[in-house]
Amino acid sequence: MGVPIWYSVGLLISLSPEIAQLYHIDNLELGTCFILFQIGITLGDLSSGLLSQLIQSRKKTLILFMTLAILATTNHFINIWNGIGLNTTSFLMGLGCGYLSVFVTTTAEHFGTNLRVLATATVTNFMRGSITLLVPLHLWIQTSFQVDLAMGLLITGVIVWTFAIASTIYLPETYGKNLSFVED
């Protein structure tokens, strides 16, 4: 569920200058894309946490923010193919990826008090470490299917987002769960 966050920032945002050059998009600053993504993810984290409390559902909040991130990513690719700047979509992707706080909370709520911190730290580290698999996957897709950078990223994104949405759909709801238990 957290891998798309690193797909977005580790591939789409990081490769923005190369994409901009390939599609003749002028005045793109990588630093600006990163800053806007980080502002978006900060606002998303704050709002997703509040929303999950208001609607009393972690799962629905995750699905909602993932949907926003998918729509922002789709808009990002439309802007790329139309040669339009990527600043607004960088912010919107960050906003959509702002489900990290709810993702981490949900992870913690699945484990007993004796494993809660270990599991939460491990899951977030695996999520961050996924970029080491996403880069070779993207390069393999790009060379195997002989597609350009943007299309390779799009195919990688479809794979990543499909697994993330499926994982969230099959995840049990944890809102309101009694957390006073120990794993056997």
Taking the mean position of all CA atoms in its chain, how far away is CA 101?
12
- Whether residue 184 has pLDDT greater than 90: no
pTM of the model: 0.94
Report the distance separating Cα 133 and Cα 162, nearest Å. 16
Q: What is the pLDDT of residue 110?
A: 94
Q: According to CATH, what is the number of the domain 3-169?
A: 1.20.1250.20
Kindly report the average pLDDT of the chain as a whole number: 95
pLDDT grade, residue 165 (50/70/90)? very high
pLDDT grade, residue 100 (50/70/90)? very high
- What residue spans define the domains of the chain? 3-169
